[in-house]
Structure 1
Amino acid sequence: MPAPRYKSGSAKKVYKRAPGNRRVLHIRRKKQSSAKCGACGALLNGVPSLRTVQVSKLSKTQRRPERAFGGALCPKCVKKMMVVKARNY
């Protein structure tokens, strides 16, 4: 039986072939999905696709780009939004 920490949905189960043609269960952590733009859904560059614990160990500048709405919106959407805000001001 696997330990309780491996019985969660966040653990990915992979079956491997062992010598003697046995199937052995290996348990891995699932990969985090890539960050996406909140407006258009495009993949965000400069944002690592790591699990929450691993991201918290990075420095602030490694977590997201240093610009307005960095890590939430892509540059194209930020540019569009700024143009719209400037025109409506």
Structure 2
Amino acid sequence: MRYTILGTTQAIRDDGTPVAVGGARLRALLTALALRPGRAVPVRALVADVWDGDPPADAVAALQALVARLRRALGAGRPWAPGRAG
């Protein structure tokens, strides 16, 4: 999988087809993670990147929900995707 972060953030499968990532916050999360490949990113940093200094009241829960949505989007159609029998 490839990620493009200049212009509109996109995820592109190995076969060249784009992944439907979703809205602006999902793209912001993908960008924040793509800019730090191979590293654990602190929750505080992700919240700051995704909500640009104006996080919701329960930012940690909101971030967890976004991470789950991003995992589903990126894993769709993959044999290792969550919820798929191996």
Q: TM-score, normalised by structure 1?
A: 0.30
Mark the structure with the bigger radius of gyration.
Answer: 1
Q: Which has the higher strand share?
A: 1
Higher relative contact order (CA 8 A, sep 6+): 2
Q: TM-score, normalised by structure 2?
A: 0.31
Please state which structure has a larger fraction of its residues in helix. Answer: 2
